[in-house]
Amino acid sequence: MGKPQTGKPQRNASSGNPPPDAARKGALRLISGVREGLSLSDQPAALARLAPADRARAQRLALAVLRNIDRADTLLVQHLSKKPRPEVLDVLRLATVELLEMGEAPHGAVNAAVGLVRGMGPKGRAAAGMVNAVLRKIADQREVWPTLPPEEMPDWLRDPIAAAWGEDAVLAIEAAHQAGAPVDFSTKPGKDAPGEALPTGSFRLIGQAQISALPGYAEGDWWVQDAAAALAVRLLDPQPGEAILDMCAAPGGKTLQLAAAGARVTALDVSEARLVRLRENLDRCGLQAEVVAGDALEWTPPEAPDAILLDAPCSATGTIRRHPDLPLIRDDSGIEGLAALQSALIDRALALLKPGGRLVFATCSLLKAEGEDQLAAALERHPGLEILRPDLPGIAPEWVTDQGGLRLRPDYWADRGGMDGFFIARLQKAGAAR
């Protein structure tokens, strides 16, 4: 390995191009924001000035670091006499992940890290020698890296998952989180999407790609949607001409599915800002829905819906494989409030639904409090409410709970790249069946 250059990265004066570390600096801004309690999605300004390619690379780098932060620290602590300043430690983590997880050439990753800390002022320059020396040692630990265990979930999440499904399930879910998530697509009827056709009807693309450049994107043939999330609408089984309320609709993947099936869709969400993206996706795909900004607990449709899709606000603990920042910025303090909101939304949906109508309740959560327990409580509150067990192509028998709900976990389809964690239940209100 050649001796790292210690000079500060320079702007190319003739071309006006940004310095080569623009993406790394963007990633470090994102990681710093997570340290301060912000999610990655809460930080659009962190990457606003980057070119699209640098923005995409910054996001990839930040995700990789957050997905491997404890593993990086396990190696770094062996070579540090004392814990460095947080911003310097972030540079060390970034370089470690680049070297050992992403296969970056040692001279490039080490040179970049030294340049980044030198750009932090006098205290950063004082740490440059340490950064250089530590990363030279880290670069020699490529064989150790694969032997490190996956990132552990925090106890507030790990313990209830272990109680529900056992320690083996916990380890399998953590391995799925570590592996990250491929990109899945849902399609209009009769259309295909890039990648492998999955047994449940979605398509999966392995590897990186510019989504907007893929065939079928401009034509609106498909949209990005995790295969597990897509099962909620497939379980609802929308029919042409049915009046269907998508009760918490944004960002809109399920609204698109409902509209593509020919239903008369009302997409309701409390956030006008989030509905902007939903409208954009409807326009791109040439699909129609009535879009309404309103509180689902207060808004009333002009007619009782034939069916309601309630993808309720939740802890989102089923999406950690694509949102590794979540365990670092959340705890269980909000679960009780979310569970109460979910119960209220179920009651409201059943009050709006026509007799004999169908309700699909879904949460992207791994916690029974937001899934199986919600279903049991709803059945107690609403005599005559019936569970319609899932009967869909590609559904493995072990995914169906004793209650008749659908429990999806990140470790399912491990050989295909996993899926988001979800709980989904299809219910029928008492009254005349459709």
- Is 364 one of the catalytic residues? yes
Which are the contacts of 342, defined by CB distance < 8 A and separation ≥ 6? 312, 313, 314, 361, 363, 370, 374
Residue 309 phi, psi (nearest 5): -105, 120
Tokens of residue 177, six digits: 């989180």
> In this structure, what DSSP letter does residue 102 have?
S
Neighbouring CB atoms inside 10 A of 59's CB total 18
Which candidate, 51, 134, 42, places its Cα nearest to that of 94?
A: 134
Q: How far apart are CA 288 and CA 423, in angstroms?
A: 28
Beta bridge partners of 362: 311, 424
Q: 377-393 burial string, b = 16+ CB within 10 Å, else e?
A: ebbeebeebebbebeee
Residue in 248, 285, 314, 364 annotated catalytic: 364
- Contact status, residue 80 vs residue 105, Cβ threshold 8 Å: no
Q: How far apart are CA 71 and CA 181, in angstroms?
A: 19
Beta bridge partners of 197: 203
Residue 318 phi, psi (nearest 5): -80, -5
Tokens of residue 9, six digits: 């990265």
Which candidate, 191, 181, 289, 179, places its Cα nearest to that of 226?
A: 181
Q: How far apart are CA 45 and CA 26, in angstroms?
A: 10
Residue type, 328: L
Q: How far apart are CA 36 and CA 14, in angstroms?
A: 38
Coil, strand, or helix at residue 406?
strand
The residues annotated as belonging to the active site are: 364
